[in-house]
């Protein structure tokens, strides 16, 4: 999703009035709208270089948190379904391990085929669910970025920036080796976007403490700026049943 958002950011911002640097950035589509084309009067006159974490800006905005929480809630039934399927497969494998020496060939083969069939079905369902989640997650991110991009341009020009580098990916995958917090504009852009969108901050979880970001599937961490929501997928059990 990072590469898609960065590509769209480059297209929307048009690399003018400032450049959104990105390693191995794909060429923008020629017919895609850009901020420069929409507002040719805007020009980069500043000399400062700043940074922005595009993904963090999207995910930590009030609108981003609200919409990603709703998406996670939408996929909870599928997540629970996958977990139940994974538990069933795990139970069958334990049964096979425990009883394979006691079963005759026909019963053992039947159980092995049952495990293999359920595993294949689980793998397909898990992959489909993850792709569906990531696709809808990307749609949300792209929609927010489209509205946020002009605000980034305005903040950069108003504050004397001639170039903004994206830090969504760490070096060497990203273009920035090191930067200090003084040049990062992510937070002020998020604050300005929250005002523009009018979306209130999401409610604080019970107890008043924000949950820690785990970075693990299935549930995205909410209320923690910069945490990327993850696709709701249950870790599949080992794909190979015990040897006969």
Q: Where are the domains of the chain?
A: 2-197
Answer yes or no: is pLDDT of 148 > 70. Answer: yes
Answer yes or no: is pLDDT of 2 > 90. Answer: no
Q: What is the pTM of this model?
A: 0.68
- Read off the pLDDT of residues 123-138 as tens digits, 9 standing for 90 and up: 999 999 999 999 999 9
* φ, ψ dihedrals at 212, nearest 5°: -75, 145
Region 55-62: mean pLDDT is: 95
Region 35-40: mean pLDDT is: 43
CA 83 – CA 66 distance, rounded (Å): 25
Concatenating the DSSP letter of every residue in 178-212 gives ---GGGB-HHHHHHHHHHHH-PPPPPPPTTS-PPP
């Amino acid at each position: 999703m990072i590469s898609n958002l960065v590509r769209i950011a480059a297209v929307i911002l048009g690399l003018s009035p400032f450049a959104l640097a990105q390693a191995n950035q794909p060429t923008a589509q020629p017919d895609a709208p850009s901020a420069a084309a929409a507002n040719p009067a805007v020009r980069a006159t500043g000399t400062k270089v700043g940074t922005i974490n595009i993904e963090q800006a999207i995910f930590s905005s009030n609108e981003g948190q609200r919409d990603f929480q709703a998406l996670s809630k939408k996929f909870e039934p599928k997540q629970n379904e996958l977990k139940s399927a994974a538990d069933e497969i795990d139970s069958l494998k334990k049964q096979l391990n425990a009883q394979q020496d006691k079963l005759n060939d026909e019963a053992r083969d039947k159980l092995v085929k049952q495990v293999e069939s359920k595993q294949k079905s689980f793998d397909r369902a898990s992959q489909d669910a993850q792709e569906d989640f990531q696709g809808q997650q990307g749609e949300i991110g792209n929609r927010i970025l489209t509205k946020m991009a002009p605000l980034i341009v305005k903040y950069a020009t108003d504050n004397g920036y001639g170039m903004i580098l994206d830090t969504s990916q760490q070096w060497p995958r990203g273009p920035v080796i090191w930067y200090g917090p003084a040049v990062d504009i992510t937070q002020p852009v998020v604050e300005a976007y929250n005002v523009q969108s009018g979306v209130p901050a999401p409610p604080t979880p019970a107890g008043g403490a924000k949950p820690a970001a785990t970075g693990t599937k299935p549930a995205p961490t909410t209320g923690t700026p910069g945490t990327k929501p993850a696709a709701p997928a249950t870790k599949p059990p080992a794909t190979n049943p015990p040897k006969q």
